Amino acid sequence: MADTPYINYFAEADSRGKRIKFGIKVDDRAKHFYVIGKSGLGKSTLLENLAIQDIQHGEGLAFIDPHGGTAEKLLDYIPAERLKDVVYFAPHDLEFPIAFNILEDIGKDKRYLVANGLMATFKKIWPDVWSARMEYILNNVLLALLEYPGSTILGVNRMLSDAGFRAAVVNNLQDPSVRAFWVDEFANYTERMAAESVPAIQNKIGQFTSNPLIRNIIGQAKSTFDIRDVMDKKKILIMNLSKGRVGEINANLLGGMLITKLYLAAMSRADASAAEMRVLPPLYFYVDEFQSFVNDTFADILSEARKYKLALTIAHQYIEQMPETVRDAVFGNVGTTVCFRVGPLDAEIMEKLFAPKFTVEDIVNLGKTQVYLTMMIDGVGSAPFSARTIPPIPPPAESYRNLVIENSRACFSRPRAEVEKGIGDWLALKFEQPASTFSPGGGGERSRPIRRKPEEGSRESRPREGHGDRPSRPPGASSHARPRSERASVPDTVPLARPAAQSLSLKALGGVRGETAKNLNELRNTLKDVLQKSGAPVREGGHAENTPAPSSGSKKAEPRKQDFPPVSQRQEQAPSREVPTPPQKKEVPEDVLRGLLNVEMPPFDK
């Protein structure tokens, strides 16, 4: 394995009737390598040839394969001397799950990057379901868990459902902003506000955590491999995210998490001095069908990764697969662009890159393995030219694939039963229920005083002096006290109090409007019972004696009207108006009952 810079060959160009193989230098790869083209034209073979040469030259690399074929093929090219360098990440290997915890051991200054990366991944997978409050709550859940030792993604749903665990996490918080959210905001959410967002978050996160394939990987507190170690020691990380085996959503989640973790590992090299940075090796990062894993944060990776010797090689099928921010970052930061045949819409965009050498018609008519490209040569972009990619590199005479898998299992995986037992023990762990659980409606750290309702007839239930003239509450009125913050808004005019007799009569009726009375006959029966209890003689029909029953042809009596002063005069008269003293409980005014009995009642509230 050579320590000197080498050329990574990937294509052939015609020169004077001869085909000349050419490639890209190590330093020029730091400006990133972009491949676009329709399926079946040779993109995967191009990436395989580049990665195989990196393996043969002893370089460090990470490869994310959403199909699985390339990942398995690369195992055949691992030489015997590099068996211990390989981390084979295959989520479909259920019996030996690897441990990958994105929340593990994140520095204080990097926690927001992890939270933002995870949020961007979730929004990429479910672009149309995230409300502002859901995003706000989940972001604070992640930031809180990042401070709590031993946290994993499994803690997200537990944070929202287990009051004891939530209190333990909140009590450990040092970030004042995150702590303020849980103490002052979330704890004061109404049950309705919490119900609008919390179950939706649990539903989405639960799709991952309920799947043993994913849970056994992201639920282990201690990762079994260190990406910074992979970078610094030129190791090989092969991630087999075959969507046919693990599912598209699961593959996208794991790929997005790995990209975030790789970016953080590269950023951690910022602590190295200039002299140390010069000797640190580069890591070549390959992502096939990269649009499945990238989000808006990928634009930062393209612009910043070069400083920390993270060289990207990315490939996909058409431009519209990229978000606009990523699209701008790709065409603004990539040094080498290789274009296979694309559709007419993409050809119009690529023509701007290759004009005036090649036109839209040229681009849409490229044959298999034929490409147009511009590339970095000694730090300078070349003019567009045509080429043909080289055929697949022949496999070695002896393959160590099985040894690579066995060694990776032994070093970076654990038996499934052992992993599931550890996760089960954590889920069964009971946390002490503290006085404050920071639950919605719980009042945070300061619990609200609870007013004890006085028993009827007790001393506390009697009206205080100066307050005995307050009229009764009408039936059906809300019994909830108005918040103190609203008491400051006093109306300019004070409405007149309800006459005491009418107030008490409605109270005596027991709220017949809002209860079981369905028609006028039931109302009469109720009035009959009231009159009997009050001692008034009652004749047949539910009417008091000396009160004629209404006939079908007689005009119905109208309720007695009261003279109210104009609205402009009410404010002046209200202070001097004496509110009549309510009658005793048995003193039901007969004239009020008679008026109600002889008037057709409006329809009852249902």
Rounded Cα distance, 505 and 245, in Å: 74
Residue keyed to tokens 């309920």:
210
> To 10 degrees, what angle do helices 163-172 and 132-147 make?
70
Q: What pLDDT is stored for residue 483 in this prediction?
A: 45
Q: What pLDDT is stored for residue 441 in this prediction?
A: 60
Query: Tokens in use for 487?
Result: 């008491």
Residue keyed to tokens 């009852």:
604
Q: Which residue positions in the chain have pLDDT lower than 70?
A: 1-4, 434-523, 526-527, 530-606
Query: Nearest 5°: phi and psi at 96?
Result: -135, 75
Q: What pLDDT is stored for residue 512 in this prediction?
A: 43
CA distances, 575 to each of 358, 562, 578 (Å):
91, 19, 8
How many CA atoms does the CB half-sphere of 45 hold within 13 Å?
Answer: 18
- Closest by alpha carbon to 25, among 315, 284, 265? 284
Return the C-alpha torsion angle 102, 108, 109, 115, nearest 10. Answer: 40
DSSP letters spanning 289-327: TGGGT--TTHHHHHHHGGGGTEEEEEEES-GGGS-HHHH
Cβ of 571: how many Cβ atoms within 10 Å?
13
Rounded Cα distance, 430 and 186, in Å: 22
Rounded Cα distance, 603 and 301, in Å: 68
Q: What pLDDT is stored for residue 592 in this prediction?
A: 42
Q: What pLDDT is stored for residue 105 in this prediction?
A: 86
Q: What is the pTM of this model?
A: 0.71
CATH no., domain 19-100+223-412? 3.40.50.300
65-68-70 Cα angle (round to 5): 70
| For the chain, domain boundaries | 19-100+223-412, 108-213
Q: What pLDDT is stored for residue 403 in this prediction?
A: 96
Contact 369, 41 (CB under 8 A): yes
Q: What pLDDT is stored for residue 334 in this prediction?
A: 94
Rounded Cα distance, 314 and 326, in Å: 12
| Edge-to-edge order in the sheet of strand 33-36 | 18-25, 7-15, 385-389, 370-374, 336-339, 33-36, 310-316, 283-288, 60-65, 236-240, 86-89
Q: What pLDDT is stored for residue 11 in this prediction?
A: 96
Reduced to 3 states, what is the DSSP secondary structure of residue 19?
A: strand
Rounded Cα distance, 136 and 122, in Å: 13
Query: Tokens in use for 268?
Result: 């951690």
Provide the b/e sequence for 100-110 (b: ≥16 CB within 10 Å): bbbbbebeeeb
Contact 524, 541 (CB under 8 A): yes
Q: What pLDDT is stored for residue 372 in this prediction?
A: 96
Query: Tokens in use for 259?
Result: 């990209």
- Closest by alpha carbon to 219, among 208, 230, 207? 208
Kind of pairing, strands 380-381 and 7-15?
Answer: unpaired
Q: What pLDDT is stored for residue 373 in this prediction?
A: 95
Kind of pairing, strands 385-389 and 370-374?
Answer: antiparallel
Query: Tokens in use for 523?
Result: 């109302």
- Closest by alpha carbon to 120, among 285, 343, 276, 300? 300
Residue keyed to tokens 């609008």:
196
Query: Nearest 5°: phi and psi at 206?
Result: -65, -25
Rounded Cα distance, 142 and 125, in Å: 17
Q: What pLDDT is stored for residue 590 in this prediction?
A: 52
CA distances, 351 to each of 260, 331, 361 (Å):
33, 13, 9
**For residue 501, with 0-12 CB atoms within 10 Å meaning exposed, 13-18 middle and 19 or more buried, which class applies?**
middle
Contact 526, 542 (CB under 8 A): no
Query: Tokens in use for 261?
Result: 């973790």
Q: Is 541 left (phi over 0), alpha (psi -120 to 50) or beta?
A: left
Contact 551, 545 (CB under 8 A): no
- Closest by alpha carbon to 57, among 20, 23, 7? 7
